[in-house]
Amino acid sequence: MSRYFYDLHMHSCLSPCAEDDMTPANMAGMASLCGLQLAALTDHNTCGNCRAFLTACKAYGIVGVPGMELTTAEEIHLVCLFPTVEAAEGFEAEVRTKRFPIKNKPAVFGNQLYMDAEDNVLGEEPNLLIPATKLDLEAGTALALAHGGAAYPAHIDRPSNGIIGILGTLPEKPFFPTLELNDPDNREQYAKEYGLEGRRLLCSSDAHRLESMREASQWIELDDEPYSSQKVRDSLIALLRGGM
């Protein structure tokens, strides 16, 4: 088992609410400066920049994780992480059919830029990515699991798009062995108030700009023997799904 400092919730310039300098290479470079060893890209309702991000992370010796922040029909944000880019892209292909075809207005919502690992712009996503999808909480979670991933509610300590803020509590189904807090200082309060003892409470930045990426402080232990980036990703997904 090895300790990995992580940030498993960040947005690139493909998310309209993120700044344009949140490019895959810039994010990987900043993750390295922050001391991270495990970093996930989780754009809104898309995995379109994940392949470039993993390539950029590899150059810095960081284990990149492909992911998505799915907005459910209830307006709940779910972090969905996957062991491979292919699994993430397969998930996105199905999510794409559940998105509403609302045209983006870059001047209003922001740009939605597809990038390669060297930060060349490959194109723009024409449809707005931030609205809720047609997938409800149970369906979205089940779909991520069906593609070999893990899914858990994002920033449960925030009223906006947090599962507790939306529903008033945590539902019995689906059961989430992992939950995300935005503020690590809220761990004890939320564990006690909502009976979360025994569940894994992660803390990630939800960074939309480079200066919001956090110095390494949150860590998890993963089985990485024999070591490979793929072994680390596999161990992470197993852990988040309630294993190990």
Single-letter amino acid, residue 101: P
Per-residue confidence (pLDDT) for residue 243, from 0 to 100: 66
Per-residue confidence (pLDDT) for residue 207, from 0 to 100: 97
Q: Of 208, 108, 119, nearest to 155 (Cα)?
A: 208
Per-residue confidence (pLDDT) for residue 197, from 0 to 100: 86
Q: Give the strand order in the sheet containing 2-7.
A: 150-153, 77-81, 63-71, 38-44, 2-7, 219-222
Outline where DSSP puts E strands in the chain.
2-7, 38-44, 63-71, 77-81, 113-115, 121-124, 150-153, 178-181, 200-203, 219-222
Residue 109 CA from chain centroid, whole number: 20
User: What CA–CA distances, in Å, run from 67 to 27, 102, 189?
Assistant: 15, 22, 28
Per-residue confidence (pLDDT) for residue 1, from 0 to 100: 87
Residue 231 CA from chain centroid, whole number: 19
CB 154 within 8 A of CB 70: no
Going from the first residue of the chain to its last (244 residues), give the mean pLDDT of each consecutive group of 10, the final group possibly shorter: 96 97 97 97 98 97 98 98 98 98 96 96 97 98 98 95 94 95 93 91 97 94 94 97 75
CB 70 within 8 A of CB 80: yes
User: Rounded to whole angstroms, how far apart are CA atoms 49 and 40?
Assistant: 11
Residue by residue, DSSP assigns 13-37 as TTSTTS-TT--HHHHHHHHHHTT-S
- Structural domains in the chain, sorted by start: 2-240 (3.20.20.140)
* Planar angle of CA 23, 132, 43, nearest 5 degrees: 15
